[in-house]
């Protein structure tokens, strides 16, 4: 039964991912045509679906990873309605390890810091046009 679900999920991804990629490319293109110097796209599983560095860089110029410790991630996820340990384990199994994602990212914003939002904002403050 698990293999059947995995095959169904893979088929669904084969249908959905090209459509999402096309929509994202159109969004970025339109923003560029309108003169935007920065376009941010929020892409779950970006690094998992674009494992090859050349393919990744063909899609995005800069990767900003939002991350936290594994313990904090688990705490946050399990606090969501309907989330369970087995569901969380299934989700995590589809993701690259955090260390791998951090290694591929150009910038990492750690949202698991002690003072919360203020520290997160401080991590973003030095980012400006010259760095991007």
Q: Which mean pLDDT values do the consecutive 10-residue runs of the chain (132 residues) have?
A: 76 90 92 92 89 90 92 95 94 92 92 76 67 50
CA dist 123 → 42, 47, 103, 107, 117 (Å):
18, 22, 18, 10, 10
Task: Answer whether 108's CB lies under 8 Å from 65's CB.
Answer: yes
- Tell me how long the chain is: 132
Q: Could you give phi then psi for residue 64, rounded to 5 degrees? A: -110, 115
32 CB-near residues (< 8 Å, 6+ apart) = 39
Would you report the helix, strand and coil content of the chain in percent, each value rounded to 5? 60, 5, 35
pLDDT at 85: 95
pLDDT at 63: 93
53 CB-near residues (< 8 Å, 6+ apart) = 104
pLDDT at 65: 92
């Amino acid at each position: 039964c698990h293999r059947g679900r995995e095959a169904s999920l893979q088929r669904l991804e084969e249908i959905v991912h090209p459509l999402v990629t096309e929509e994202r490319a159109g969004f970025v293109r339109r923003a560029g045509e309108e003169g935007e110097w920065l376009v941010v796209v929020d892409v779950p599983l970006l690094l998992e679906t674009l494992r090859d560095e050349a393919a990744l860089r063909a899609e995005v110029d800069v990767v900003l990873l939002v991350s936290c410790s594994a313990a904090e991630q688990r705490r946050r996820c399990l606090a969501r309605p309907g989330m369970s340990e087995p569901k969380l384990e299934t989700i995590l199994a589809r993701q690259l390890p955090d260390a791998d994602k951090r290694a591929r990212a150009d910038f990492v914003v750690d949202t698991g810091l002690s003072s919360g939002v203020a520290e997160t904002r401080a991590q973003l403050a030095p980012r400006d046009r010259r760095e991007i």
